[in-house]
């Protein structure tokens, strides 16, 4: 376990980078320092050729309670709020969603406010069966931020997204599974075991193809069908030249399991 950070724990195991938010005494609430360190940890994992899958989770019983409001001891105004979102949240969310490596969110306990935004920025989510997502912003007279409106509208549709956001309804893990907001739910005591099992399984797949698939799906959400097909063609031209493609074809012909190396 790497302790290079003050608010984040970072480790690598079997091609899986594990990033743990480490402010359990504050329910992993975000500060500028923590957001900066998270962004750096994701950049580190992205640049490490030995890392093929990333798992994000929180230390303690809570994934993240969102923004740490206790740090606002001075004047809070429109300018510094706007700049804080653009300076700290935006780079992290954009890195998570654009990087060519799959990010699995292991959602332990609650993910509220900006914590829900970060959870939704993960590509895949496995949740503690007692966990929940909560768009808590309206409870304190605020608007969802850090990408929450974008994620929610695309994942559950406008009307449901609006209702969850304006009513600040807690969305239980079983409901998240039903709505497509998460992929799996498990007992909390097995969460990291199952998350790592999933991550290690994905790490054995052709990581370049997985990353390009992620990019194609993200691009398709704001492109025409014609543009999507063109982008798929461009990515396929890259994929067909990889060693993993050659290995996949050879393994198929030889009737054996492929051994992908991310090359």
Residues 256, 263: Cα–Cα separation, whole Å: 19
Q: Three-state DSSP class for 198?
A: helix
pLDDT at 77: 73
- State the DSSP code for 139: G
137 shares its domain with 105: yes
- Asked if residue 2 is part of any domain, the answer here is no
Per-residue model confidence as pLDDT tens digits over 42-53: 999 999 999 999
223 shares its domain with 171: no
215 shares its domain with 113: no
Q: Which residue has the tokens 């990033």?
A: 19
- Asked if residue 1 has pLDDT above 70, the reply is no
190 shares its domain with 213: no
- Domain of 220, CATH number, reads 1.10.12
Go through 228-244 and write b for each residue having 16 or more CB atoms within 10 A of its CB, e for each that does not. Answer: eeebbeebeeebeebeb
Which domain does 213 fall in, by range? 207-253
Q: Three-state DSSP class for 243?
A: helix
Per-residue model confidence as pLDDT tens digits over 71-97: 766 666 777 888 889 999 999 999 999
Segment holding 17, helix H or strand E: strand 16-21
122 shares its domain with 190: yes
- Asked if residue 262 is part of any domain, the answer here is no
The count of other CB atoms within 10 Å of the CB of residue 75 is: 6
101 shares its domain with 126: yes
21 shares its domain with 61: yes
- Domain of 106, CATH number, reads 3.90.226.10
The pTM assigned to this predicted structure is: 0.95
Residues 65, 109: Cα–Cα separation, whole Å: 10
The count of other CB atoms within 10 Å of the CB of residue 32 is: 13
Which tokens sit at 81? 């709020």
pLDDT at 248: 96
- Asked if residue 211 has pLDDT above 70, the reply is yes
Give the model's confidence band at 70: pLDDT under 50 very low, under 70 low, under 90 confident, else very high: confident
Q: 146, 117 in Cβ contact below 8 A?
A: yes
- Asked if residue 3 is part of any domain, the answer here is no
E strands present in 83-123: 102-107, 110-112
Question: What are residue 181's phi and psi, to 5 degrees?
Answer: -80, -15
Give the model's confidence band at 238: pLDDT under 50 very low, under 70 low, under 90 confident, else very high: very high
Domain count, the chain: 2
């Amino acid at each position: 376990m790497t302790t290079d950070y003050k608010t984040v724990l970072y480790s690598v195991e079997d091609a899986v980078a594990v990033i743990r938010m480490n402010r359990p005494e504050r329910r992993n609430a975000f500060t500028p320092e923590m957001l900066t360190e998270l962004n750096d940890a994701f950049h580190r994992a992205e640049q490490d050729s030995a890392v093929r899958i990333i798992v994000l989770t929180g230390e303690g019983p809570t994934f993240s309670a969102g923004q740490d409001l206790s740090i606002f001891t001075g004047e809070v105004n429109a300018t510094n709020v706007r700049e804080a979102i653009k300076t700290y949240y935006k780079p992290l969310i954009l890195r998570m969603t654009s990087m060519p490596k799959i990010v699995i969110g292991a959602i332990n306990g609650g993910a509220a406010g900006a914590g829900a935004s970060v959870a939704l920025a993960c590509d895949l989510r496995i949740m503690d069966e007692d966990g929940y997502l909560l768009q808590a912003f309206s409870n304190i007279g605020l608007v969802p931020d850090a990408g929450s409106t974008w994620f929610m509208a695309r994942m559950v549709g406008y009307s449901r997204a609006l209702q969850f956001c304006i009513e600040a309804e807690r969305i239980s893990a079983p409901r998240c599974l039903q709505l497509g907001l998460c992929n799996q739910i498990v007992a909390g005591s097995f969460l990291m075991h199952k998350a790592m099992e999933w991550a290690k399984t994905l790490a054995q797949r052709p990581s370049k193809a997985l990353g390009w698939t992620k990019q194609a799906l993200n691009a398709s959400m704001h492109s025409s069908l014609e543009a999507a097909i063109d982008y798929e063609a461009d990515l396929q031209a890259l994929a067909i030249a990889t060693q993993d493609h050659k290995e996949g074809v050879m393994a198929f012909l030889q009737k054996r399991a492929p051994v992908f190396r991310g090359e």
